[in-house]
């Protein structure tokens, strides 16, 4: 036995009270065990989701609704066992959630128990910048309630493998219980753990391990078997891999969930050499007819207004009168909605994604062999329009981003123009090696990676790609673009597809093109008329005339273009001129345009990006300028200083916190002139 360094846990201990909203299950010895009422979990999830929606954030209902009975039963058993032996629950168990989109159900459950410092009021700030209750479970924001961070599907499950291995090495043998969704089981990381855990367990290298799979045949884009392929063979293979498979057909029957979980834990404890998996058939979106019958099982929260809440929650409770505390919460939401309507400004912009879809459709109609290869997120990335118009040229490989990129590379080798899509965080982390191997195979692709930087505000740090440029810009034969508006997206994606086809027809190997874009609405364009070039930077504003040398160049890209333009306005009001340069291509710098701009602004340059400063646009730009012998260069670079993000209702909250907003740009400009007292 190898003794590990003792790390004091940050997790909250046993709850000091029974759930505020409770029901009971019957133990094997005939006792009535109080557990969180699954209906209350669904109601609390709905209420906290409504808070998030009013704040401007997306949220999830379907997944936590499906897991409500399983989580109530699991926690009820764990708390009962630990209290009877007078130990803290974490001294006996590791409870790990891989299904990050279901974390709000666990927040609701913990608040129901009044544990980990949570109350019902604390749920009301879910996904806001003021709360540690991020969109997905994150240790750095909520260590009292999260042991292993989750978010990207299939990422916490492999870490739980290491936890169980550590238990065996130390000889402590706490039971590791991990929960995962069926969609996450499509990820390569998860499939590796499916094979490794029973293999290592047979060698005595794993502590007791229980895996709970919530199988409802549903992912974001719809039913798994209809949209991609059936997972039944994967689940049937678990027995052959060495798992003790317990099938739970009624995964939303609370008593059956409790009995099955107790049996699984006791079985795993009795024989750690055979891990146990509970294959539970659940109903995603259970609670209301609308969510059950929707294609995605109510993956996101379906309601837009608190006026719909009373009927929605009433259906969850089967027509019973709602508790006064729920009605009070609904009343608060009504008042907040009224305030928003009274003070709100209508967003006249549009999604950058509109231009992506338009470019792909036009190219396919022109006869170019464009194919869409997706991994579950086409509605979010902008390719859904193409897929609807050309279903026979569209493929869904499941929730498997690495496989998506590699599949596209294979199609490229046969003369197709494959376009892949996912969130930026998943595309660059899981796609970097396949992109490299595709380049080595002379198999270029086109990638649409959305929700860059802090644009995926509500989902939190695990979904916020803050190293996306750094991760792919240095891969040979890969061109990296950051899009700022739908018109630019249309023009540049079109040009990339056309150049790809032209190079192939000439017997040449084109570069891969990766397009990064935001999530929120942006103006359709910033300059009229506009011209776009894949390799040329764009001057959006020049207010240097008559400023007597009191000027700066503001260099930016992608989602921060509006902040740079706002800063230029604010600076002009202070008598400072600015040239705003939008550099869509981030790893091939248009030195000539920047050099000319810097000559007009005395070499005073501000770079701004929602990306880590290390390896980001600012570093690539300034290095290129220094290499080009730009003589006078005074630089202020704004970006993220080696930190993770967190959830917020909108990206603007995070731009302000990390000082990459218009105000921060103005402040940086001021630093050039304060010494001369010209500010």
Would the pLDDT of 502 be above 90? yes
Task: Summarize pLDDT for 266-290 with one digit per residue, the tens.
Answer: 999 999 999 999 999 999 999 999 9
Q: Please state the pTM of the whole predicted model.
A: 0.96
**CA–CA dist 119, 113 (Å, integer):** 8
pLDDT band for position 677 (cuts 50, 70, 90): low
In the numeric block, which tokens belong to residue 635? Answer: 């630089």
In the numeric block, which tokens belong to residue 329? Answer: 């919460």
DSSP string, 19-72: -SSEEEEE-TTS-EEEEE-HHHHHHHHHHHHHHHHHHT---B-HHHHHHHHHHH
Sheet holding 370-374, edge to edge: 394-396, 370-374, 417-423, 446-450, 512-516, 478-482
Would the pLDDT of 362 be above 70? yes
Run of H or E residues at 215: strand 209-215
Would the pLDDT of 675 be above 70? no
**Could you tell me where the DSSP H helices lie in 271-323?**
289-293, 309-316
Task: Summarize pLDDT for 296-353 with one digit per residue, the tens.
Answer: 999 999 999 999 999 999 999 999 999 999 999 999 999 999 999 998 766 668 999 9
Mean pLDDT of the chain: 96
pLDDT for the residue 271? 98
**CA–CA dist 70, 64 (Å, integer):** 10
Q: What number is the average pLDDT over the span 460-466? A: 97
**CA–CA dist 433, 439 (Å, integer):** 10
pLDDT for the residue 673? 86
CB 93 within 8 Å of CB 78: yes
Q: What number is the average pLDDT over the span 66-77? A: 98
pLDDT for the residue 678? 53
Q: Which letter does DSSP use for residue 465 in this model? A: B
Beta strands in 315-438 (DSSP E): 350-351, 370-374, 394-396, 417-423
Residues with Cβ < 8 Å from 674, sequence gap 6 or more? none
Task: Summarize pLDDT for 36-53 with one digit per residue, the tens.
Answer: 999 999 999 999 999 999
Beta strands in 517-620 (DSSP E): 521-522, 538-542, 551-556, 577-582, 604-612
CATH number of 401-517: 3.40.50.970
Run of H or E residues at 437: helix 424-440
Q: What number is the average pLDDT over the span 199-216? A: 98
Helix (H, G, I), strand (E, B) or coil at 5: coil
The domain 539-672 is classified under which CATH number: 3.40.50.920, 3.90.550.10, 3.40.30.10, 3.40.50.150?
Answer: 3.40.50.920
pLDDT for the residue 676? 53
Helix (H, G, I), strand (E, B) or coil at 418: strand
Task: Summarize pLDDT for 572-586 with one digit per residue, the tens.
Answer: 999 999 999 999 999
**CA–CA dist 71, 110 (Å, integer):** 11
- Rounded to 5 degrees, φ, ψ at 286 are -60, 140
pLDDT for the residue 2? 85
Task: Summarize pLDDT for 380-389 with one digit per residue, the tens.
Answer: 999 999 999 9
Sheet holding 577-582, edge to edge: 538-542, 577-582, 551-556, 604-612, 634-640
Q: Report the percentage of the chain scoring pLDDT > 90.
A: 95
Q: Which CATH class is domain 24-316?
A: alpha beta
pLDDT band for position 529 (cuts 50, 70, 90): confident
CB 172 within 8 Å of CB 139: no
Placement of tokens 């009995």 in the chain: 259
Q: What number is the average pLDDT over the span 651-658? A: 98
pLDDT for the residue 248? 98
Would the pLDDT of 679 be above 70? no
* In the chain, domain spans: 24-316, 401-517, 539-672
Run of H or E residues at 103: helix 103-113
Quick one: CA dihedral 48, 50, 56, 62, positive or negative? positive
Same topology for domains 24-316 and 401-517, yes or no? yes
Q: At what angle do helices 103-113 and 62-84 cross, to 10 degrees?
A: 40
Ramachandran sector of residue 541 (left: φ over 0; alpha: ψ -120 to 50; beta: rest)? beta
Chain Cα centroid distance, residue 607: 26
Task: Summarize pLDDT for 129-152 with one digit per residue, the tens.
Answer: 999 999 999 999 999 999 999 999
CB 29 within 8 Å of CB 252: no
Residues with Cβ < 8 Å from 457, sequence gap 6 or more? 57, 464, 519, 647, 648, 649, 650, 651, 653, 654
CB 332 within 8 Å of CB 120: no
CB 654 within 8 Å of CB 559: no
pLDDT band for position 420 (cuts 50, 70, 90): very high
Q: Report the percentage of the chain scoring pLDDT > 70.
A: 99
In the numeric block, which tokens belong to residue 167? Answer: 């238990």
Task: Summarize pLDDT for 77-112 with one digit per residue, the tens.
Answer: 999 999 999 999 999 999 999 999 999 999 999 999
Can you give the length of the chain in residues? 679
pLDDT for the residue 371? 98
């Amino acid at each position: 036995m190898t003794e590990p360094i003792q790390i004091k846990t940050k997790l909250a201990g046993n709850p000091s009270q029974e759930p505020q909203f409770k029901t009971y299950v019957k133990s094997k010895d005939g006792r009535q065990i109080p557990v969180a009422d699954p209906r209350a979990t669904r109601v609390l999830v709905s209420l906290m989701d409504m808070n998030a929606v009013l704040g401007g954030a997306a949220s999830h209902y379907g997944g936590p609704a499906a897991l409500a009975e399983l989580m109530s039963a699991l926690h009820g058993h764990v708390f009962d066992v630990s209290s009877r032996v007078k130990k803290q629950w974490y001294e006996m168990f590791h409870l790990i959630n891989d299904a990050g989109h279901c974390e709000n159900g666990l927040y609701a459950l913990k608040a129901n128990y009044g544990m980990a410092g949570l109350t019902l009021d604390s749920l009301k700030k879910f996904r806001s910048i003021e709360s540690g209750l991020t969109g997905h479970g994150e240790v750095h924001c909520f260590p009292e309630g999260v042991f292993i961070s989750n978010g990207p599907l299939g990422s916490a499950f492999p870490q739980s493998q290491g936890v169980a291995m550590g238990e065996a090495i130390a000889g402590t043998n706490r039971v590791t219980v991990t929960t995962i969704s069926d969609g996450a089981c499509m990820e390569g990381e998860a499939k590796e753990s499916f094979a490794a855990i029973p293999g290592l367990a047979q060698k005595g290298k794993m502590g007791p391990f229980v895996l709970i799979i919530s199988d409802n045949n549903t992912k974001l884009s719809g039913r798994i078997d209809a949209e991609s392929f059936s997972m039944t063979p994967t689940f049937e293979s678990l027995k052959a891999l060495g798992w003790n498979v317990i099938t739970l057909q009624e995964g939303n029957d609370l008593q059956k969930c409790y009995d099955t979980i107790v049996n699984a834990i006791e079985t795993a404890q009795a024989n750690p050499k055979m891990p146990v998996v509970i294959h539970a058939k659940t109903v995603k979106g259970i609670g209301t007819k609308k969510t059950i019958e929707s294609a995605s099982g109510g993956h996101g929260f379906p309601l837009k207004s608190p006026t719909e809440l009373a009927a929605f929650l009433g259906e969850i409770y089967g027509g019973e009168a709602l508790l006064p505390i729920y009605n009070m919460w609904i009343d608060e939401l009504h008042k907040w909605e009224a305030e928003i309507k009274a003070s709100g400004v209508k967003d006249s912009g549009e999604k950058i994604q509109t231009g992506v879809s338009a470019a792909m459709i036009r190219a396919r109609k022109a006869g170019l062999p464009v194919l869409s290869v997706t991994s579950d997120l086409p509605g979010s990335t902008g390719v859904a329009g193409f897929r609807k118009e050309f279903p026979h040229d569209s493929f869904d490989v499941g929730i498997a981003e690495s496989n998506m990129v590699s599949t596209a590379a294979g199609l490229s080798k046969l003369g197709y123009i494959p376009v892949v899509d996912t969130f930026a965080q998943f595309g660059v982390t899981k796609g970097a090696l396949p992109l490299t191997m595709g380049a080595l195979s002379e198999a270029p692709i086109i990638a649409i990676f959305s929700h860059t930087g802090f644009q995926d505000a509500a989902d939190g740090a695990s979904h916020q790609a803050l190293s996306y440029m750094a991760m792919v810009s240095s891969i040979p034969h890969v061109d990296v673009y950051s899009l700022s508006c739908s018109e630019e997206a249309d023009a540049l994606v079109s040009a990339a597809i056309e150049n790809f086809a032209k190079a192939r027809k000439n017997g040449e190997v084109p570069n891969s093109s990766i397009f990064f874009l935001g999530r929120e609405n942006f103006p359709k364009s910033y300059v009229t008329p506009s011209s776009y070039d894949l390799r040329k930077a764009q001057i959006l504003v020049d207010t240097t005339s008559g400023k007597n040398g009191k000027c700066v160049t503001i260099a930016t890209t992608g989602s921060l273009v509006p902040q740079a333009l706002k800063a230029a306005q604010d600076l002009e009001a202070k008598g400072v001129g600015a040239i705003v340069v939008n550099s869509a291509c981030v790893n091939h710098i248009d030195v000539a345009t920047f050099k000319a701009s810097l000559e007009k602004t005395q070499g005073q340059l501000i770079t701004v990006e929602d990306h880590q400063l290390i390896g980001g646009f600012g570093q690539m730009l300034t290095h290129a300028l220094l290499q080009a012998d730009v003589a006078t260069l005074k630089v202020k670079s704004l970006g993220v200083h080696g930190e993770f993000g967190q959830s917020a209702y909108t990206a603007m909250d995070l731009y302000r916190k990390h000082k990459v907003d218009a105000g921060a740009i103005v402040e940086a400009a001021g630093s050039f002139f304060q010494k001369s007292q010209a500010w």
